Structure formats: structure tokens, C-alpha cells
Amino acid sequence: MPIQMDLADVAAFVCKQRSCSLIADLGVGAHKRAYLIEQDGARFALKIAPITPSLKPRFEREATALAGCKHPSVAVLHESVPLSLGGNEFWVSIEEYLSGGTLSSRVAAGQVDHALVRRIGLSLADALDHLRERNLVHRDIKPANVLFRSADEAVLTDFGIVRMLDAPTLTQEFLPQGPGTPLYASAEQLLNEMVLIDWRTDQFGLAVVLAECAIGYHPFTPEGDVPLAISRVAKRQAVPPESCEKLAAAGFGSLIKAMAPWPVQRYRYPKDFIHSLSVE
């Protein structure tokens, strides 16, 4: 019979097994709890989650996807394996520790100026090109999933719902909504139109994040009404005129095209998006 185990106990076991020191609890995400660990003077993020039948394929896919990525703006995965302990199954990942915090925390602290927004956009758009070459779609680009390696070195993290375009989808076709965070999801995600999912889905999510940082509110809702923003995107409405004007005035008019309702209306290739964002 399985023994009830706290994730902190699992973390302590993993650290003892690998001769690491458990430094601190970093908090919990959608499925995993993260811990700061140290080994031979180097620090890492240890992430642990209980394995369920529905989550195991996601964990396996995330590990496979990240193993094939080598880009400075994509988080480094060192190890990702299942662990049996006390009759329980856990998924254990060891990733690089990104000490600069999240984009969401920087926004809340008022530490994101337009110059940083552009640097984040250019580096993450280049990361999207890296993913596109590998037939990967992140599908959950949001401020909480953008971390910093240093003062202004943005890194894309959390590939938990990554889509592999050259592998069978893990999303059920009958679901009315696909996976992702609704506030930053494109129409094709919100409506679970799987055939339309490609790198331009991530382009939309990144553009919403950048626009929100640039003008101080979600671009699809100058009124501050979150459900309204999601509804407008799902109905394939264009970015409201007020937001378009503010984006153009701030030097980020290129983001308007990246947030177009249909993927075919957005930038066709990452290099086009990067060029437009860099010349404004």
C-alpha cells in the first residue's frame, strides 16, 4: 500500500541520493513544486510532481522537447525522470536555476521599461524560431513563464503543454477549449482548432505579453475586463483601436499584426516578426 508522502520529503530524498543540499522551497506551479538545491557550489531548480495517468505523457513530452532545444532563451533541462518512492510515482526534473525572477514580478514592481520589453521580444522571438525549426509550439507564453537569468536576459520556461507538430496530439479533439492560459491564448487555442496550431500561436501569446508590458494593460481590454478580453479573442475581434494607438505611440505597432485574429494574418516567419520589432 502506498505511503502518503509530502513533496518536501521527496525533495529531501532526491537531494540525499544526489549529494545535494536542499536550500529553499521556490513555490508551486500548475503541477510541479520547485525547490532550490545546490551541488558543488552550483544551484539548480528541482521540480517534483506526483505522476497521474493523464500527466505522465505530458511530462515525457516536455522532457523530450527540452532535450532537443539548445538556445540561450530556453531554460536548460539537466535531468527529467520518473521516480518510484514509498509505493508512489513522482516525476523529477532538475533545471537551471534562474535567479532573476519572473516577468510578472518585475511588471508588478514597475521594473520593465520599453527598452527591456524590446530586448525580451527580440530574444524570445528568436527562441520561437528555434522551436519552429523543431516543430514545437510552447502554447503557454505568459509573464509567469518568462524568467530572467540575469538583469535583462529573458528565458522561456515551463514546457508542460508543449505541442509536437510531428507527433500525435495529446489534446482530445472534442474538448471545447485547448490547453493554455486563456488570458494569453490565441483564438485557435481557445476554440481548440488544433489544425491551426503552429509557431504563430506562440507569436500571438508573446505579442500579448509584450503589449501588456508596453502599454500597462491587456491589449484586448482597455476597460480592464478580463473575461471581455478572452471573449474578444475567441470571437476573432481585432485589437481595440485605443490599444493600437497606444502601441504605435510607444513604438510597438509591430505587435498589432502579431495579434491578428487568424494565424495567416500574422507574421509568416519569426525573422519577419523580429525584423518588424527591431526597426520601430
pLDDT of 118 strictly over 70: yes
Q: What are the structural domain ranges in the chain?
A: 7-96, 103-279
pTM across the whole model: 0.94
**Proportion of the chain above pLDDT 70, given as a percent:** 99
How confident is the model over 5-37, as pLDDT tens digits?
A: 799 999 999 999 999 999 999 998 778 999 999
Q: Which of 190, 185, 187, 219 is nearest to 202 (CA)?
A: 185
The dihedral of CA 128, 131, 132, 138: what is its sign? negative
pLDDT band (50, 70, 90) for residue 3: low
More confident residue, 146 or 168: 146
Chain segment 209-250, per-residue pLDDT in tens: 999 999 999 999 999 999 999 999 999 999 999 999 999 999
Q: Which one is predicted more confidently, 133 or 86?
A: 133
Cα–Cα distance between 213 and 215 in angstroms, integer?
6
How many Å apart are CA 167 and CA 151, to the nearest integer? 37
Q: What confidence tier does 2 reach under pLDDT thresholds 50, 70, 90?
A: low
pLDDT higher than threshold 90 for residue 171? no
Superfamily of domain 7-96: Phosphorylase Kinase; domain 1 (3.30.200.20)
Could you tell me the CATH superfamily of domain 103-279?
Transferase(Phosphotransferase) domain 1 (1.10.510.10)
Q: What is the DSSP string of 168-237?
A: --SS-TT-SS-SS-GGG--HHHHTT-GGG-SHHHHHHHHHHHHHHHHHSS-TT-TT--HHHHHHHHHTTP
